[in-house]
């Protein structure tokens, strides 16, 4: 199977964790942009096309849930995977009701992350494709060919 590189935005206030996980994801063939808080996350989304955001819930200042709400409002097609500690799974599930694709317990298991990431990429790609086709149909109708 051909691996299509995905643009991932990795958001976590633990810089060592971001560096380590970025390296592993890049080794696995993806393009990773780091961010260390909610504001930096939104600033990056405004500048770079991103497919999937991996988003820590517990961050100082704007937390992951606040950031998630903003992401879904401004970029509804971007998929979000939440990172959560053992004590906050309820928050993570609340996040899924706000539009997050799924969540992962910290410390994140890389294999599990890869599995969720593949599913999130697939949903993003399918949705992008449906929109492209709908836009093409609309263009054809405007042209009077249908």
Q: Note whether 37 binds Mg ion by CB under 5 A.
A: no
Using the contact rule CB under 5 A, the part of the chain among 5-13, 20-28, 73-81, 86-94 near Mg ion is 5-13
| φ/ψ bin of 61: left (φ > 0), alpha (ψ from -120 to 50), beta (otherwise) | left
Closest CB to Mg ion among residues 49, 107: 107
Q: Note whether 58 binds Mg ion by CB under 5 A.
A: yes
Which of 56, 80, 100, 117: binder of Mg ion (CB under 5 A)?
Answer: 56
Closest separation in Å from C-beta 65 to Mg ion: 12
Candidates 72, 77, 34; CA nearest to 54 is: 34
78: Cβ contacts below 8 Å, ≥ 6 apart: 45, 50, 51, 52, 53, 71, 124
Using the contact rule CB under 5 A, the part of the chain among 12-20, 21-29, 33-41, 61-69 near Mg ion is 12-20
Closest separation in Å from C-beta 102 to Mg ion: 18
CA angle 5, 118, 32 (to 5 degrees): 40
| Nearest residue to the partner Mg ion, using Cβ | 58
Closest CB to Mg ion among residues 24, 58: 58
Closest separation in Å from C-beta 71 to Mg ion: 17
Q: Note whether 106 binds Mg ion by CB under 5 A.
A: no
Question: Quick check: 83 and 37 in contact, CB under 8 A?
Answer: no
Closest CB to Mg ion among residues 55, 120: 55
Peptide bond into 61 cis (omega under 30): no
Instruction: Give helix 64-74 / helix 38-47 axis angle, nearest 10°.
Output: 20
Footprint of Mg ion (CB under 5 A) = 13, 56, 58-59
């Amino acid at each position: 199977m051909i691996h299509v590189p995905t643009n991932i935005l990795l958001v976590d206030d633990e810089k060592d964790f971001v560096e380590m996980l970025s390296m592993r994801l890049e080794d696995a063939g993806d393009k990773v942009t780091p961010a260390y808080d909610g504001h930096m996350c939104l600033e990056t989304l405004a500048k770079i096309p991103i497919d999937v955001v991996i988003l820590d819930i517990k961050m100082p200042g704007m937390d992951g849930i606040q950031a998630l709400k903003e992401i879904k409002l401004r970029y509804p097609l971007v998929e979000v995977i939440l990172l959560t500690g053992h004590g906050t799974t309820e928050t993570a599930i609340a996040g899924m009701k706000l539009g997050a694709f799924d969540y992962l317990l910290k410390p994140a298991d890389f294999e599990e992350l890869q599995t969720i990431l593949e599913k999130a990429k697939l949903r993003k790609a399918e949705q992008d494709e449906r929109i492209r086709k709908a836009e093409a149909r609309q263009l054809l109708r405007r042209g009077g060919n249908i």
